[in-house]
Structure 1
Amino acid sequence: MKKWISLSLVALLLTGCEKLDSEIAQLKKNEEETVIKVKTVNAYTVEPNQDALTTEVSGVVSPRQELALSFGTSGRIAQILVQKGAVVKAGQTLATLDTAALQQGINAAQGQVASANIRRSKAAQGPEAHELQTQRLQVEKAKQTAAKAEQEHAQAQALYAGGAISKDELDRLALADRQAKLDLQEEEVAYGKLLKGADRLDVEEANAQVQQANVELSRAKQEAADAVLKAPFSGIVAAIPQAQSEQTGPGSEVIRLVDTSSWLIKLQVESEQISSWQPGAAITVKAQDGTEAEGKVTFVSPVMDQALGSYPVEVTVAGSEVNWKGGMTVTCQYAREGKEAALVPVSSVGISEEENYVLKIQDNTVKKTPVKLGAIHGTFYEVLEGLEAGDQVVGSGLSYLVDGEAVKVADE
């Protein structure tokens, strides 16, 4: 009997110990799960930067000049004198049109100019001697005709008074008398005009004809000049879209010419940084292939581009220093002087409702803190407001955290 009671007691004790062990294990598991739920974050301690700050802005490389060249007139392409990749000088002939018809136009215009000049010279000199003699004879002839008509009219009046002729015959002779007198007046006026010399109106008309002829000649010569395609600047032939013997016209690209003597980089600089960009300042320009060159700020816009909300800036790099190509993306680094600034990693800054923020770490808890940013310097933002030296912020992974969440700092 005693043996049975002892065995029951032992069994009961064993059962209680197993239950206690199970509860202890569950407590440990719950504790471990609670620890696991606290996220581990990298922290960054804000310290004032005492080194020179570097502003970085990316831009795209473009040649100093790039121009699509076309003829100024229509015609058939007679010659293309260059190939793609050729280096040409300013004023060099690149292509020509068939100028046979254009030359005929020049010849015709030159003939018109010569004729107009002859007419002008003749008008300026006045009538020649034989013209005066001819007109004088015309006057004498008109006088004789008028005298004869007057005599016949007088005789007719006497005959009509005697009833020898009719009234119609008298009227006919009277009309002939008046017409003869008018013809004499016209011939005398013409003779007097010749005696005065050159006529002003004739000279002015001749001058106008010469001017018009010269305009036509200039137009013909310009068309011939437009049929010759010359390089407006020194550069490299980048493309030749048309071929010899093709028909072309004004505005139709024949050759594309680029000037790589220098490269132009167009930037858009934020308003917080624009005060640091000054014309003439030296800039370090780095390409993605690792090459770099020294550039110079050649233009800073005095007004903001309202569409982009930033200021256009241009940087020029000598083409002899680099082997770049148009369209490459480069980074312009501008070392600027300024007061000490607090910097935080770019990865530690978030944006919410058009406001920048960081997650400040206080008592192992993150707090969403709005900040005002300045310029970007490499992989760091300049913080103008919102943080002080000594503050700790989450270094990265902001999207995985919420305001007020408990965290564990791993390192800085």
Structure 2
Amino acid sequence: MKKWISLTIVALLLTGCEKLNSDMAELKKNEEETVIKVKTVNAYTVEENQDALTLEVSGVVAPRQEAGLSFGASGRIDRILVEKGASVKAGQTLATLDETVLQQGVNAALGQVASANVRRSKAAQGPESHEVQTQKLQVEKAKETAAKAEREHAQAKALYAGGAISKDELDRLALAERQAKLDLQEEEVALGKLLKGADRLDVEEANAELQQANVQLTRAKQEASDAVLKAPFSGVVAAIAQVQSEQTGPGSEVMRLVDTSQWLVKLQVESEQIGSWQPGALVTVKAPDGSRAEGKVTFVSPVMDQSLGAYPVEVTVSGADVNWKGGMTVTCQYELDAKNVMLVPVSSVGISEEEYYVMKINENSVEKTPVKVGGIHGTFYEIVEGLQSGDQIVGSGLSYLVDGEAVKVADE
């Protein structure tokens, strides 16, 4: 009996120990789950900024101007007067076409203009005295012919009445009289025109011919001018694509000219930073080889490049200050005017119901705190109200937190 009681007591003790162990394991599991549910956050300590902020944006160097040059006319390249790498001045002749045919066209056009000028002068002056005198003689001759025809016709009438001539002969003489009188009228009209002086229609026709001849001359001269390739700006010959004696034409690139007197650094600035970039601001530009130069912001695009999601910005650097090459990647350091202001990262500020807020860290939880923001300085907001120096706020990931939620700071 005693043995059975002892076994029972042992069994009860074992059962109690197992239950205790199970309860302890459950408690430990609950504690672990509680710890797991506490989110870890990055903390940012709010301080009044004492130093100027500097933005750094990378960009690509490009020459101030670059152009592919080609002739404006077709022909055979007669001369190339520069070599690759040569420095040239604006207006300098770089190459020429064979101008033989083109010059012949200019000469022919000059001849047409000269002839048209002579015709115009003659039309404007009217008939010369000898032309008038000749026409008067023609009129007198026509009068004599008409008078003679009239007499012969009168005599024929008398002869026909006496039966001396036939009806056909009478009709022939009558027709000769009418024709002689018509010829006289034409000569008198011609004399009248000469006596009136210059004919308006003749002058207008001569003017039109002269104008057309001048148009042809201008075209011929332009074609001759297009046969000479000149530098549109000062720069360096970067490439020569064609050779002497080669046939070429409009639009066919002969050489490439670049202007290295200034370099353009083309940047793509994010929307959070674009408000800080102002035309005329000075920028420090740093190249991969360590060289530095001072640049100036010369262009800030008013619209975003939708394909890149950023705003194009251009910084101009004097070519005399650096020995750069087109296509290099450089870094522009832009200093922001943000001294003695309280700044927090853009990622630490949220917007709710048209107001800004931050998640302030109070011991082991977060508190949603409304703030009033000022300007934006690169990737930082200026805080005007709502925070004090020394406050700790959540640096990022606000959308995953709720007001009053327990958190653990990452560096603790």
State the 1:347 CA deviation: 7.3
CA distance in 1, matches of 2:363, 2:130: 124
**1:233 is aligned to 2:233:** yes
Q: Secondary structure in 1 aligned to 2:136?
A: helix
Identity %: 73
The answer on whether the counterparts of 2:349 and 2:357 sit within 8 Å (CA) in structure 1 is yes
Q: Does 1:252 align with 2:249?
A: no
Q: What residue in structure 1 maps to residue 91 of structure 2?
A: 91
* 2:376 aligned partner: 375
Q: Deviations over 1:48-105 (max 9, x none)?
A: 3243344555544332212221211122223333333222111111222222221221
> Partner residue of 1:109?
109
Say whether 1:46 aligns with 2:46. yes
Q: Counterpart amino acid of 2:408?
A: K
Pair 1:32–1:276, CA change in 2 (3 A): closer
- Corresponding letter in the other structure for 1:305: V
Q: Deviations over 1:129-148 (max 9, x none)?
A: 55344333322321221111
**Per-residue CA shift, 1:340-379, capped at 9, x if unaligned?**
5433357767999xx99976534324578898795344xx
Count, aligned residues? 406
Q: 1:103/1:382 Cα in 2 relative to 1: closer, same or farther (>3 Å)? A: same
Deviation of 1:25 after TM superposition, in Å, equals 9.5
Structure 1 residue aligned with 2:211: 211
What's the counterpart of residue 178 of structure 2? Answer: 178
| Alpha-carbon distance change, 159 to 367 in structure 1, aligned in 2, over 3 angstroms | farther
Q: Which residues of 2 match residues 340-355 of structure 1 at below 5 A?
A: 340-345=340-345
Q: Give a deviation string over 1:212-247, Cα, whole Å, max 9, x none.
A: 222212211110110111101001122333344333
- Distance in 2 between the 1:369 and 1:180 partners? 122
For residues 163-214 of structure 1, give each alpha carbon's deviation from its aligned partner in whole angstroms, at most 9, with x where no partner exists: 4444444333222212211211222232343345444433343333223222
Task: Tell me which residue corresponds to 1:286.
Answer: 286
Residue 232 of structure 1 aligns to a residue whose secondary structure is coil
Distance verdict in 2 for CA 1:306–1:294, change over 3 Å: closer
CA 1:36 to 1:264, structure 2 compared with 1: closer, same or farther past 3 Å? same
TM-score (norm 1): 0.77
In the superposition, the TM-score normalised over structure 2's length comes to 0.77
The answer (yes or no) to whether the contact 1:55–1:375 under 8 Å persists in 2 is: no
Distance change (3 Å), C-alpha of 1:375 and 1:251: farther
Tell me which residue corresponds to 2:303.
Answer: 305
What residue in structure 2 maps to residue 155 of structure 1?
Answer: 155
> What is the CA-CA distance between 1:333 and the residue it aligns to?
3.8
Which has the larger displacement, 183-192 or 212-221? 183-192
Please say if 1:222 is aligned against 2:206. no
**In 2, Cα distance between equivalents of 1:181 and 1:42:** 122
Q: 1:267 to 1:96 in 2, by over 3 A?
A: same
**CA deviation vs aligned residue, 1:255-287 (integer Å, no higher than 9, x gap):** 221111112345566777666554433233334
Structure 1 unaligned residues grouped into runs of 5+: none
Change in 2 beyond 3 A, CA 1:327/1:399: farther
The residue matched to 2:219 in structure 1 has which SS? helix
Query: Cα distance 1:168–1:370, how it changes in 2: closer, same or farther (>3 A)?
Result: farther
Q: Does the 8 A contact of 2:305 with 2:311 survive in 1?
A: no
Q: What displacement does 1:324 show?
A: 2.7
**Structure 2 stretches of 5 or more lacking a match?**
none
Corresponding letter in the other structure for 2:184: L
Let me know the Cα RMSD of the aligned residues.
Answer: 4.5
